[in-house]
Amino acid sequence: MSQTNMASRPLAIEASLRLHRPGFVLDVNLCVPAQGVTVLLGTSGCGKTTVLRCLAGLERARGRVHVAGQAWQDDERGLLVPTHRRALGMVFQEASLFAHLSVRDNLLYGFRRIPGTQRRIQPDHAIGLLGIGHLMDRQPAGLSGGERQRVAIARALLTSPALLLMDEPLSALDAARKAEVLPYLSALGDSGVPIVYVTHSLDEAARLADHLVLMREGRIELAGPADEVMARPDSPLARFDDACAILHATLVEREPAPGLARLRLGADDGASLWVGGGGEAVGTKVRVRVLARDVSVALSRPLDSSILNILPAKVVALHDEDDASVMLRLSLDDGSALLARLTRRSVTTLGLRPGQAVHAQIKGAALMRP
């Protein structure tokens, strides 16, 4: 390949990994953007953490690992960069902070070891992203689990990594602490550091993923932009009770008395969604999760309904789930996709078919902004 062609290719994280263990085979060809958050999603034992460890060089598989144009492993060339020479940061289930150092000194420990010319993230930026400015003089023993994890993430960012690896960072936290940390994880897309995030939680994937890789039994079952993968009615994810689609919107209006906010999909004249709660400011870009079970369909626009969100849509595809239910993919006017789980009786009664114009009804309470 010519130098010109190489330069024109978008930067990516590429890995071809082959690993055999008793009772387990990893056979993965991974190529994801070197930007945003890539989530490896799957059940325990599917190989997602093994992939993460191979990217880090903590586990040896046959193949190659290239990160944003840098070769970390290439068996054909006899190249293997050891873990300590790979420009990466890692965050595990446990924060593993230095107990004898303050939060400030924990953050600066790695930062001071990075040459000034290679520092891409400054302390103030990382501290602001993770909301830990008030913790600087505290000791790790006095932090909550959520606070410790936020400090650990900031510390990893301050090593100015080419790649940040996160292995189930919320699994050791209770529900309240997870809710505390998730908004800060959502903000990490603004850090400029590509992230590979391992989880078995569909909720975390829906909130965080820009790119989604679904793994099963050591192989990649499905991969692509998160909003496209999640809105496929034939995806394995569509079988989950909390199957969902992701919409991207802008908060354009807030009604203080009812506690509702209006979100706009697409361009200035795009459709509106009403949601409750949240403290985001007008103009904020938000991600909306819509559960398939909370979307219903009507052939004409209902005149009297308690449902606030009724949007023109088109049936794109129908996928039989079982004898009783069918999953529909719906397209909105702005090109966004929704999933709707309906009974087979409803589909038959309404005569639903691909290409048909309908109205999608979305319960306001079903809309969740990370």
What is the block-wise mean pLDDT of the chain (370 residues), using blocks of 10 residues?
A: 47 94 95 94 95 96 95 96 94 89 93 87 91 94 92 92 93 86 84 92 92 96 95 91 91 80 81 79 87 94 90 95 93 93 96 96 68
**Which CATH number characterizes residue 92's domain?**
3.40.50.300
**φ, ψ of residue 178 in degrees (nearest 5):** -60, -45
Nearest to 185 by CA among 212, 200, 164: 164
Residue 344 lies in a domain: yes
201 plus 83 within the same structural domain: yes
Range of the domain at 122: 11-230
pLDDT computed for residue 11 by the predictor: 83
pTM over 0.85: yes
Q: 17 and 166: one domain?
A: yes
Tell me if 2 is assigned to some domain: no
Please tell me whether residues 161 and 31 are part of one structural domain. yes
Distance of alpha carbon 77 from alpha carbon 84, whole angstroms: 20
Buried-state track 60-87, b at ≥16 Cβ within 10 A, e below 16: ebebbbbbbeeebbeeeeeeebeeeebb
User: Kindly report the CA angle at 66 between 61 and 71, in degrees rounded to 5?
Assistant: 95
Residue at 236 is within a domain: no
Q: Which of 182, 200, 230 marks a domain boundary? A: 230
| Residues 44 and 87 grouped into a single domain | yes
Q: Are residues 336 and 220 in the same domain?
A: no
The pLDDT value recorded for residue 1 is 39
Same-domain pairing of 56 and 140: yes
Q: What is the pLDDT of residue 5?
A: 44
| pLDDT number for residue 257 | 67
Q: Are residues 184 and 274 in the same domain?
A: no
Tell whether 105 is covered by a domain: yes
Last residue of a domain, one of 197, 230, 263: 230
Residues 213 and 279 in one domain: no
Residue 363: what pLDDT?
Answer: 85
Residues 187 and 104 in one domain: yes
258 and 225 together in one domain: no
- Is the residue at 267 inside a domain? yes
What pLDDT, on the 0 to 100 scale, is given for residue 6? 42
Assess whether 210 and 293 both reside in one domain.
Answer: no
What is the model's pLDDT at position 285?
A: 86
Look at the chain and report how many structural domains it folds into: 2
Final residue in a domain of this structure, among 172, 199, 230: 230
Residues 255 and 180 in one domain: no
Asked whether residue 37 is domain-assigned, the answer is yes
Query: Residue 2's pLDDT is what?
Result: 39
Distances 302 to 54, 275, 309, 354 between C-alpha atoms, Å: 54, 19, 11, 21
